Structure 1
């Protein structure tokens, strides 16, 4: 049940980010990100190395929350490095979206754990 919920949630996030991309200023979309990604790539399975299907509820949640923390950290760093207002605005929107969705994930998975 948790993996199905997470898959649906990530599909929804993909759609929302795609819509942001469609509406974003081209100057912001053509801004390079290479400095951050060279030093701190976003990685999966930092909290464990087993496939999700072999993990328990809490282990999956820990892994997913760690991933979202990395994405939030990426957006925060990039907001601070953005040199043009259009890029800063886009990154702030992505940061706000990521923070909101991470909180929603915590709430929803907490409810599932209660079941």
Structure 2
């Protein structure tokens, strides 16, 4: 996927959440631990929700914001495609699963944070800030829910 504009970043983010959702579901069927299976299924549902939210932003955002160029960042920090699942979660326990999920999302947040600091167009800044806030809040929700799972 060639990433040059904020629209491309949103499309990449949608694909990121979709691929992570699919991978989590795939691994939930392979993990032997019941709690890990539960958290993997929960996280997969959550990733599906994030996928739909970001897609919604793409549908309502101003064209000017979506067409803002951001290739200078991408040239220096290539975005990694997450197209396949090599079952990274199939043998992890809940804490390691959450650590890996949070790390993945922190990388996405770094991207949005950097892009926010580089764009000059107000509508693009607002869009990036809104998506970044949604991503941050959803990570917090996922971690809180995982903590509840571990208390069971």
CA distance in 2, matches of 1:85, 1:101: 24
CA distance in 2, matches of 1:112, 1:87: 37
CA distance in 2, matches of 1:58, 1:68: 15
Unmatched runs of 5 consecutive residues or more in structure 1: none
Matched residues, number = 112
CA distance in 2, matches of 1:24, 1:93: 11
SS at match of 2:90: helix
* Corresponding residue of 2:149: 112
* Corresponding residue of 1:15: 52
TM-score (norm 1): 0.87
Question: Is 1:63 aligned with 2:100?
Answer: yes
SS at match of 1:52: coil
TM-score (norm 2): 0.67
CA separation of 1:43/1:65 partners in 2, compared to 1, >3 Å: closer, same or farther? farther
The two structures, once aligned, show a CA RMSD in angstroms of 2.0
* Corresponding residue of 2:76: 39
